[in-house]
Amino acid sequence: MKQIIECVPNFSEGRDMNIIKQITDAIESVEGVRLLNVDPGKATNRTVVTFVGEPKLVCEAAFRAIQIAGELIDMSKHKGEHPRMGATDVCPLIPISGITMEETAKYAQELGARVGKELNLPVYLYEAAQPNKDRNNLSIIRAGEYEGFFKKIKLPEWKPDFGPAEFDAKRGASVIGARDFLVAYNVNLNTTSTRRANAIAFDVREAGRTEKDAKGNIIKQTPGSLKCVKAIGWFIEEYGIAQISMNLTNISVTPVHIAFDEVCRRADARGIRVTGSELVGLVPLNSMLEAGRYFLRKQQRSVGVSESELIKIAVKSLGLDELGPFKPEERIIEYMLRDKADSRLVSMTVAGFADETASESPAPGGGSISAYMGALGAALATMVANLSSHKRGWDERWEEFSDCAEKGQKYQAELIRLVDEDTKSFNHIMAAFGLPKGNDEEKAARTKAIQDATKYATEVPFKVMQAAFDSMEVIKAMAETGNPNSVTDAGVGALAARSAVMGAFLNVKINAAGLTDKAFASDIIARGQKIQEQAMAKETEILTIVNSEINRTT
* Residue 91 CB-density burial (10 A; 0-12 exposed, 13-18 middle, 19+ buried): buried
- Residue 476, CA distances (Å) to 64, 485, 546 in order: 55, 15, 9
CA dist 543 and 243 (Å) reads: 57
Instruction: Give phi and psi for 84, each to the nearest 5.
Output: -160, 155
Q: Kind of pairing, strands 183-189 and 241-248?
A: antiparallel
Residues 303 and 509: their CA atoms lie apart, in Å, by 37
Q: How many CB atoms lie within 10 A of CB 439?
A: 9
- Give the DSSP letter of residue 87: S
In terms of Cβ atoms closer than 10 Å to its own Cβ (0-12, 13-18, 19+), residue 215 is: exposed
257 catalytic? Reply is no
Based on the residue annotation, tell me whether 422 is a catalytic residue of this protein: yes
Residue 257 class from Cβ within 10 Å (0-12 exposed, 13-18 middle, 19+ buried)? buried
**C-alpha closest to that of 341 among 428, 271, 411, 446:** 428
Q: Where on the phi/psi map is residue 125: left (φ > 0), alpha (ψ -120 to 50), or beta?
A: beta
Q: Exposed, middle or buried: residue 160 (CB in 10 Å: 0-12, 13-18, 19+)? A: buried
Q: Which of 161, 422, 470, 489 is catalytic?
A: 422
Q: Angle at Cα 340 formed by Cα 305 and Cα 499, nearest 5°?
A: 55
Question: What is the Cα–Cα distance from 304 to 546, expressed in whole angstroms?
Answer: 23
Evaluate whether 115 touches 88 at the Cβ level (below 8 Å): no
483 exposed, middle or buried (CB, 10 Å; 0-12, 13-18, 19+)? Answer: buried
> Pairing mode, if any, of strands 123-127 and 174-178?
parallel
Residues 6+ apart with CB under 8 A from 537: none
C-alpha span between 261 and 318 (Å, rounded): 9
Please list, in sequence order, all residues whose beta carbon lies within 8 angstroms of the beta carbon of residue 77, skipping any fewer than 6 positions away.
Answer: none
Among the options 16, 74, 78, 82, which is catalytic?
A: 82
Q: Which residues are designated catalytic?
A: 82, 422
